[in-house]
């Protein structure tokens, strides 16, 4: 848990934070639930009169330790769970990520994304798995916000295309990874505020190159 997460946690717990979904948000097709107390995430889902087309949830080890009952509930209400490798191990009680994923997919979400930092990310869906690379970086200036930027790029691509198929989720993970690779280049959100669409496309081309190989198979 980094400083920012601790702060968010403290604010949630101490400030009696009760988010109210604005009327203008009713009917939203895509819901990204950031890393908050699971009971608050449930409250947000409950406030939406129409079930969104896709609900993505971020969570963390802290809630597994302090609010597992609520977390288990919210897991049954969502479509995509977004966690890191150590959280996947903790949530499942399995060390191997394939076994961990298999177990977590029985807890509610249909899709599971396991983030592995500099080692990229894995997307699990039924018996399918997709391995997304991270861009090998010369320097990480400030990793703060990389996870949230990944989540934003991911659901942003899905919302823009309106396509929630497994194939498009793969692309969305690449978009999220590309956005996160910008985030860490400068302090806070600075780099994200200055990038152009052209720079994003260039970065996406780098991702294509990164994993591209040809093989002759009968």
Which residues would be at the binding site for its own copies (CB under 8 A)?
96-99, 116, 118-120, 122, 129-134, 136-139, 167, 170-171, 173-175, 201, 204-205, 207-208, 210-215, 217-218
Smallest gap from residue 180 Cβ to its own copies (A): 15
State which H helix or E strand residue 43 sits in.
Answer: helix 38-47
Smallest gap from residue 44 Cβ to its own copies (A): 30
State which H helix or E strand residue 122 sits in.
Answer: strand 121-125
Smallest gap from residue 204 Cβ to its own copies (A): 6
Nearer to its own copies, 91 or 172 (CB): 172
Nearer to its own copies, 10 or 201 (CB): 201
Residue 26 burial (10 A CB sphere; 0-12, 13-18, 19+): exposed
Are 92 and 100 in contact by the 8 Å Cβ rule? The answer is: yes
Are 149 and 178 in contact by the 8 Å Cβ rule? The answer is: no
Smallest gap from residue 101 Cβ to its own copies (A): 8
From the list 17, 109, 103, 126, the residue with the least C-alpha distance to 71 is 109
Assigned token pair, 53:
């087309």
Are 56 and 32 in contact by the 8 Å Cβ rule? The answer is: yes
From the list 166, 143, 157, the residue with the least C-alpha distance to 201 is 157
Nearer to its own copies, 38 or 152 (CB): 152
Smallest gap from residue 159 Cβ to its own copies (A): 16
Nearer to its own copies, 1 or 137 (CB): 137
Nearer to its own copies, 47 or 165 (CB): 165
């Amino acid at each position: 848990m980094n400083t920012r997460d601790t702060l968010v946690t403290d604010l949630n717990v101490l400030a009696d934070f009760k988010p109210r979904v604005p009327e203008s948000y009713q009917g939203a097709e895509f819901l990204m639930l950031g890393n908050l107390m699971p009971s608050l995430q449930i409250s947000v889902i409950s406030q939406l009169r129409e079930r969104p087309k896709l609900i993505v949830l971020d969570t963390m080890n802290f809630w597994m330790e302090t609010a597992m009952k609520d977390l288990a509930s919210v897991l049954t209400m969502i479509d995509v769970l977004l966690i890191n490798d150590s959280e996947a191990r903790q949530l499942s009680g399995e060390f191997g990520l394939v076994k961990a994923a298999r177990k977590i997919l029985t807890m509610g979400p249909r899709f599971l994304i396991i983030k592995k930092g500099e080692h990229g990310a894995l997307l699990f869906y039924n018996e399918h798995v997709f391995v997304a690379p991270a861009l090998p970086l010369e320097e990480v200036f400030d990793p703060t916000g990389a996870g949230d930027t990944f989540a934003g790029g991911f659901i942003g691509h899905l919302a823009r295309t309106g396509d929630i198929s497994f194939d498009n989720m793969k692309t969305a993970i690449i978009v999220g990874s590309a956005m996160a690779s910008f985030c860490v280049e400068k302090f806070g959100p600075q780099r994200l505020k200055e990038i152009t669409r052209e720079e994003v496309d260039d970065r996406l081309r780098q991702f294509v190159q990164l994993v591209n190989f040809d093989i002759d198979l009968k």
